[in-house]
Chains A and B, each alone.
Chain A
Amino acid sequence: MESVNQLQRKLAEYTASLYNEKILDEQFIQLQQLQDENNPDFVVEVVSLFFEDSERLLNELAKALNQTNVDFKKLDANVHQLKGSSSSIGAQRVQRVCIAFRNYCDERNVEGCLQCLQQVKNEYTLVKNKLETLFKLEKQFVDAGGSFPVA
């Protein structure tokens, strides 16, 4: 059974790695600053909504690219939404792929779009796993008696 101090260190190191690997950016810190006693589950709520919405958008993107006549306008609108929501939670790498994805939509480049779709799926899966691990570590820390903000 790990001590609070060990868990605190583990949590700090894991969090730092997320920023170092640019999986998350400063926007995620802003979300954490918005969490308080009036809004105690804010980060988990926003991130959960992001997961739900992203999965829907990724399905829409796959469907759109599967058509014989690709509707690039619709495709671009969905990528634009994914770019917006990923930037709102600080999912930097997802946002970056969306920018490239939109360029391919502008060029009506199906091959490029398909590549970006695969990339954005990979980046989304990565950030989802990382955030789920982060929340698990936070819970372990709190269950062991730790509290935020970390002293």
Chain B
Amino acid sequence: MSSSYDVSSSLNNKNANLNVGKKLKALIVDDDPIVRMVHKALLKKFGMETHEAKNGQEAVLTQRSGACFDLILMDLDMPVMNGRQATKELRDMHVCSLIAGVTSLGEAEKKSFMDAGLDYYYQKPLAIDVVRNLVEKIKDDA
């Protein structure tokens, strides 16, 4: 099943919509409040402004209300709407954000999650070095 996500056009959209010159914004999507708390601290440490969503549907609704994030950290297993479905919907909306899947999966599930439209995939729990590199990369691309 091919994804409707096209790399080159979405990159152009990203440059147009990024909060250039302002603080980088991230959306943390996870149903576990402890994971949200840890990821929030990780991103804040590297200067990002953070927002949270408890499941995929909240993430999609936040985007629909006009928010624009530089980065979305997307968990997979969530109630109401999971990360795979949310990622597909966000790509269908042509969001400007980089989407990083963060979960603890085997290879088979990782591929299907990536295919939904992830830019990156990381194993949970996120390490400080991983986040440092990711934020640097986002700043460079901005």
- A and B bind: yes
Interface, chain A (partner B; CB < 8 A)? 27, 30-31, 33-34, 36, 38-39, 42, 45-46, 49-50, 53, 77, 80-81, 84-85, 87-89
User: Could you write out 25 A-B pairs with CB less than 8 Å apart?
Assistant: A30-B127, A30-B128, A33-B128, A34-B38, A34-B128, A39-B44, A39-B45, A45-B37, A46-B34, A46-B37, A49-B33, A53-B33, A77-B77, A81-B32, A84-B34, A84-B35, A84-B104, A84-B124, A85-B32, A85-B35, A87-B125, A88-B32, A88-B34, A88-B35, A88-B38
Binary CB contact string for chain B from 30 to 50 against chain A (1 if under 8 A, 0 otherwise): 011111011001101100000
Residue of B nearest to A38 (CB): B44
Complex interface: chain B residues within 8 A of A27 (CB):
125
| 10 closest cross-chain pairs (CB), A and B | A85-B34, A34-B41, A88-B38, A88-B125, A88-B34, A84-B32, A88-B35, A27-B125, A49-B34, A50-B34
Chain A min CB distance to B101 (Å):
14
Interchain CB contact (< 8 A) of A49 among B37, B124, B128: B37
Known: A27-B125, A81-B31. 4 other contacts (CB 8 A): A30-B125, A49-B33, A84-B32, A85-B34
Q: What is the total number of residues of chain B having a CB less than 8 Å from a CB of chain A?
A: 18
Complex interface: chain A residues within 8 A of B77 (CB):
77, 80
Complex interface: chain A residues within 8 A of B37 (CB):
45-46, 49
Residue of B nearest to A42 (CB): B41
Residue of B nearest to A31 (CB): B38
Chain A min CB distance to B82 (Å):
12
Interchain CB contact (< 8 A) of B124 among A38, A39, A88: A88
Chain A min CB distance to B55 (Å):
13
Cα A109 to Cα B101 with chains together (Å): 32
Complex interface: chain B residues within 8 A of A77 (CB):
77, 79
Cα A49 to Cα B33 with chains together (Å): 8
Residue of A nearest to B129 (CB): A30
Chain B min CB distance to A46 (Å):
5
Residue of B nearest to A47 (CB): B34
Complex interface: chain A residues within 8 A of B38 (CB):
31, 34, 46, 88-89
Q: Of A39, A84, A85, which is in contact with the most chain B CB atoms at under 10 Å from its CB?
A: A84
Cα A50 to Cα B32 with chains together (Å): 10
Q: Contact between A34 and B34 (Cβ–Cβ < 8 Å)?
A: no
Chain B min CB distance to A112 (Å):
21
Cα A53 to Cα B32 with chains together (Å): 9
Knowing A80-B77, A84-B124, A88-B124 are in contact, say whether A34-B45 is a contact too (CB < 8 A): yes
